Structures are given as structure tokens and as C-alpha cells.
Amino acid sequence: MSAPANPVSIELKDIVQEYPTKDGSGVLRVVDGISLTLSPGINMLLGPSGCGKSTILHMMGGVRPIGVATPTSGTVLIDGVPCTEAHDDAVMVFQRYANRPDLTVEENVAFPFRLKHWRARIDAAEARRRLDETLAAVGLSGHRKHLPSQLSGGQNQRVALARALVLRPRILLMDEPFGALDAQTRAEMQQLLVQIYEQNPCLVVFVTHDVTEALTLGDRVVVLSTQPAKIADDFAILEPRPRSVTWQRSTEAVRMEERILSQLHAASTGRASLRVSV
Amino acid sequence: MSEPTTWNPYAPLSAQTTRTLGIGAVVAVLLLWAIVSGTGLVSPNKLPAPWQVAKAFVYLAWDGENQRSLLLNATLWSVGRVLAAGALVIAIGIPIGVLMGASPKLNATLSPLIDPFRSAPVVALLPIMVMWFGIGEWMKILFLFVGAVVYLIPMVRDAVRAVPQAYWISARDLGATPMEAVRHAVLPLAMPRIADAVIVGVSVMWTYITVAEYVNAREGLGQLIQNARRFSAMDQVFAGIIVIVAFALLSYQLMQYIKKKMYPWETKL
């Protein structure tokens, strides 16, 4: 199963997102006309903190912030169908794991099966089977009865990942999922993600502000500028995973890193000069 | 050089020292009380001596002449009223608070009707409640209910609203309906603070029980105190007050213990 078994696509068409400014005098444009077509593979959305990349990811998941219409204009299409609410095929994994502290690991992972929507679609035996399988895949079989407070940060993130995988999503949306972890744990989690992806290739959209993470994981890297977010760069990485340290130090990888950093730098100076002109 | 321990809010204090200081303070007050009343500095009509109070307590606990325990009878009545009102507060107050917490619209509608009573004296409502509900048992229970529920509802609402939005968003993304997201993702996390609200509610009821029982009560700790005051039996007044304080403290500790057992994960959130 090396080739993606489940063809799926996400298409963003001229996405604009504006929020009213705090003093109410005008609007702040955070996303400015993004058009992007994503296909199966690990797609990295790379940009500085607060550039609006999470907002874009939320749109793909169909999760809307309250009180504001998102997107302000433009459409998100999943398999060519406009996506306006939580989508069965797209599941998000957050940096704050959102694990329920009163439930055990297995109860947290099986959480979606408490909901009417999935109870109607997946019977108890199938749910059980998927739970066992997913716990094994993320390496939590030995922690089934533990509470989140008894787990490390990395293990908690495994629980959150498993809760998404148990639904067998064709689209996995990851919002800086490893951002709060220490370097060693982050490397382990990246490895785990690659392993899970290889076993069951799907469409992963992975938001990060970490250039190294983007180069370690991505089949494709989309670089976003900040305030408002625009696509600054978009390129593929053909090097197979797992990517060795030797490759990461190769001319190819270093060039990519320099290219990304110069794009981000150009974007930030642009912003600074804009501020002076205002 | 070690850090100073006196004006340092972060200085550790051993359980032993905590206990010694606490007991010391109580003993000091008892001693002062004994000296002031024992030497006749203050007349026993105003401040009975500790041993007089102890004697009154023994008499109230078991009146051998009439073969009865006034204290047990009064306590059972008062506890019964607090329990009845408490059940009402939980059954009505918690659902209202949760709904207000879950719906900003409902909150905007109801909070102007409820929040002012948090700072207004509920005791001032007593005459109205007597007019409406008479002077019987219902009035007393409803008075306790109103007194506690105006504290509990805003606390429950705030408990729900304090749960990070991430839990709600995550559940919604997994396909939960808004109701399911509240029930399965938000409410379970709000439970420890809702338990805190119940504890405050019950504590408030213990402060209002005396007021409720001043009006035409034939039984109860408030009535016992009121009755003793009428006969100028200050020793019994003091004994009654001490029993109420003890019960309030005991129920508070008990509820804290139950809460810790029910939500052991709370502090680790």
C-alpha cells in the first residue's frame, strides 16, 4: 500500500478571511486570497506564529469560530463538494490534546463512538476492533486503563492522534500537534506519524512554524506569509522518508531551508515597511 | 542564607506547625473567654462562662427529667430542612446554571434576574415569602432554597464557561451535535467546579437556617436559640450557636472529601 489507496482532494478557492478590528472601526484581513489544491501525501502549511494558518486549517475541517462567518469569501471543496460544517472524512488533532481528564486512555480514544453520528454508523464490535487496532498502532496498548494525568505529554498526544485515527479519516488535519513537546518526544512523534502514514496513506495537512519539522515530514511544503496570510512559496520534497540526518545536512536540504527563511524574512520586512507607511 | 518564612507567601508550613498554631488560637480565645466571664468582668447574662455553656450543652443533649434530647430533635429538623432545600437547589439550580453556561443568549436573558440577588440581602425577602407561602414548612425550605440558589446558579454557569473552548471544538469536529459537545466534552470538565458551587450553596444554607427558623418554628436549631434567648438562657444560646457552627464545618469538610473522591483528576487538569 505505498500508493494512496483513497484518492481524496481538498481545494481552496480564493479564500479571504476578515475579522472586525477590536475598536470596531474597520476590518482586519488575516487571510488574503488563498487558492490551493491538496492531494494525498503529507502537506505542510508552514508560517510564522499567528499568520492565519490555523484559521485555514479550521476551514478545511469545517470547524467555524463562533460569531464570524468563515471564510469571508471563497469556498473550501472536499472531493469537489463545498464543505461548510464538520466533515466525516476530515478529523483534526490539536496542540492542546483535548483529552478528557476523567476518562481512561481507551475511553478517550473511543470517545467518538459515544456520539450519535458514529453510533449509527459503526457497531460495537467494529468499534472494539478499531480501538484495539488503533491503540496498538500508536503504542498505547499497555496504557489502556491509565488516566491522562498519568501520561506524559507525548503519550497524551498519542491519545489525541488515536482518537482521530479510530475514525479512519481520509483527511488528517494537524494543528501544530507536536509544538508543545520537547525535542526528543517531538522526533518520536514525527516518526510515529510517518509510520502511521506509510501504513495507511491519506491526506495529511500539517500546520507548523518549525522549518525543520516541515523538511522532515513534508511531501509538499506550502509557505505562508503573515498578516494577511498569502502563499509565499510552494514546493515538493522528493526525498523518501525517513529522512536521514545526512540528507538534512545536504546541500539540497540546506538550500530549501534558506529558501524558506528568505521567503519568511521578505514577508516580515514587507510587513514592517507597511507599518511605517501607515 | 535561607529565605525568611514570615512575610513569604510561598514558605512551606509543616502540618504539625499548622495544627499547633490553629489549636493555639482556639485555646487562647477559650482562655480569654474564661478569664473575662469567670472573673465577673462581663455579666453571665451577656457572656456565660465556657463551663456554663458546656453544662447547657449537656442539658440540651440529654434532659434526664423529661427523658428527651432537645438538641438531637432540633438538629434533625434543621438538617432535614437543609437537605430538603439542598435537593431542590441541586435539582433546579444546576440544570439552570448549566443551560445558562451553555447558551450566551439564555445567560443574557436570565442573569439580570439572578445576579443582583448575589449582592442583595436575601433576608430582606423573608417578609414577602411569609406573605406568599405562609409561616409553615414550605416557607422555610423555599427561603433556604432562594438564598442558596442565587449563589449556586452563577457559579455553575461560570464553571461551564471556564472550560476551554478547545474541548468543544474538538468534539464538534468529531461529529458531536452542539448538545452532545456540551454534554460529553464541556460538562464533565465543569463538574469539579459545579461541586464547589454545591458546597458553597450548602454553606450558605447553614447561615440562613437560623433566620428561617426564627419565624414561627416549633423545632430546629434556630428556634432553639431564639427560644433560649427569650428566656435569657445565654448559655443555651451559645451552645446552640456552637452546634450550628460545628455542623456547618462538618458538612463542609464532608463535602470536600466526597468531591476529592469523585474528581481526583481535578487539580491535575
Q: What is the pLDDT along chain A (278 residues), one digit of tens a residue?
A: 344 455 788 999 999 888 888 887 888 888 888 999 999 999 999 988 777 888 888 888 777 655 566 788 888 888 888 887 777 888 999 888 889 999 999 999 999 999 999 999 999 999 999 999 999 999 999 999 999 999 999 999 999 999 999 999 999 999 999 988 998 999 999 999 999 999 989 999 999 988 999 999 999 999 998 878 889 889 999 989 888 888 988 999 999 998 888 887 776 655 433 322 22
Please tell me which residue, B247 or B25, carries the higher pLDDT value.
Answer: B25
pLDDT at A142: 94
Q: Which residue type, as a one-letter code, is found at position A231?
A: I
All three cell numbers of A241: 522518508
For residue A105, the surrounding DSSP H or E stretch is: helix A105-109
Candidates A56, A67, A44, A65; CA nearest to A13 is A56
Contacting A with CB below 8 Å, chain B residues are 164, 166-167, 169-177, 180, 184-185, 188-189, 191, 263, 265-266, 268-269
- pLDDT category of residue B250 using cuts at 50, 70 and 90: very high
| CB-based burial label for A278 (10 Å; 0-12, 13-18, 19+) | exposed
For residue B91, the surrounding DSSP H or E stretch is: none
All three cell numbers of B7: 512575610
Distance CA A269, CA B81 (A): 71
Residue B129: pLDDT above 90?
no
Are both A151 and A26 inside the same structural domain? no
Residue A188 included in any domain: no
Residues of B whose CB is below 8 A from A149 = 265, 268
State the Rg of chain B over Cα.
23
pLDDT at B256: 95
Residue of A nearest to B163 (CA): A98
pLDDT tens-digit map of B191-245: 999 999 999 999 999 989 888 888 877 889 989 998 898 888 899 999 999 999 9
Residue A94 has its nearest CB partner, among B166, B180, B263, at: B166
Candidates A46, A159, A180, A54; CA nearest to A111 is A159
pTM value > 0.90: no
Are both A126 and A239 inside the same structural domain? no
Burial A45-77 (b: 16+ CB within 10 A, else e): bbbbeebbbbbbbbbbbbbbeeeeebbeebebe
pLDDT tens-digit map of B172-184: 889 899 999 999 9
pLDDT at B182: 95
Are both A75 and A145 inside the same structural domain? no
All three cell numbers of B40: 465577673
> What is the CATH number for A65?
3.40.50.300
Are both A100 and A82 inside the same structural domain? no
Are both A30 and A80 inside the same structural domain? yes
- DSSP-based three-state secondary structure for A166: coil
Task: Please check whether residue A171 is in contact with residue A205, taking contact to mean a CB–CB distance below 8 angstroms.
Answer: yes
At residue A45, φ and ψ (nearest 5 deg) are -105, 105
Determine the average pLDDT of the residues in B95-122.
Answer: 91
* SS3 per-residue string spanning B25-82: HHHHHHHHHHHHHHCCCCCCCCCCCHHHHHHHHHHHHCECCCCECHHHHHHHHHHHHH
Q: How many CB atoms lie within 10 A of CB B55?
A: 15
Residues of B whose CB is below 8 A from A148 = 265
Contacts of B103 (CB under 8 A, 6+ apart): none
Are both A65 and A127 inside the same structural domain? no
Distance CA B204, CA B198 (A): 10
- What part of A 43-72 touches B (C-beta under 8 Å)? 61-63
Residues of A whose CB is below 8 A from B172 = 63, 86
Cα of A152 to nearest chain B Cα, Å: 12
- pLDDT category of residue B127 using cuts at 50, 70 and 90: confident
Q: In whole numbers, what is the pLDDT of chain B averaged over residues?
A: 90
pLDDT at A69: 62
Are both A267 and A243 inside the same structural domain? yes
Distance CA B163, CA B178 (A): 15
Residue B173 has its nearest CB partner, among A63, A100, A103, at: A63
pLDDT tens-digit map of B78-101: 999 999 999 999 999 999 999 999
All three cell numbers of A198: 506509510
User: Domain span at residue A51?
Assistant: 1-89+194-278
How far, in Å, are A61, A95, A217, B183 from residue A71 at the CA level? 12, 23, 28, 28
Q: How far is CA A70 from the centre of its chain?
A: 18
End-of-domain residue from the set A152, A168, A184: A168
Distance CA B8, CA B24 (A): 21
Residue A142 included in any domain: yes
Are both A82 and A205 inside the same structural domain? yes
pLDDT at A124: 94
Tell whether A149 lies on the interface with B, counting CB pairs under 8 A.
Answer: yes
All three cell numbers of B195: 461541586
How far, in Å, are A268, B33, B72, B148, B207 from residue B60 at the CA level? 81, 21, 8, 29, 21
Residue A183 included in any domain: no
Candidates B26, B9, B70, B15; CA nearest to B240 is B70
Q: Are B173 and A61 in contact (CB < 8 Å)?
A: yes
Q: How many CB atoms lie within 10 A of CB B4?
A: 8
Determine the average pLDDT of the residues in B18-36.
Answer: 94
β-partners of residue A19 are: A28
State the Rg of chain A over Cα.
19
Q: Are A114 and B269 in contact (CB < 8 Å)?
A: no
Q: Give the number of domains in chain A.
A: 2
Residue B175 has its nearest CB partner, among A94, A112, A147, at: A112
pLDDT at B19: 95
Task: Please check whether residue A235 is in contact with residue A204, taking contact to mean a CB–CB distance below 8 angstroms.
Answer: no
Residue A115 has its nearest CB partner, among B174, B189, B265, at: B174
Distance CA B93, CA B105 (A): 18
Residue A147 has its nearest CB partner, among B170, B189, B265, at: B265
pLDDT at A105: 97
Residue B58: pLDDT above 70?
yes
Residue A160 included in any domain: yes
Length of chain A: 278
Residue B171: pLDDT above 60?
yes
Which CATH superfamily includes the segment(s) B70-268?
MetI-like (1.10.3720.10)
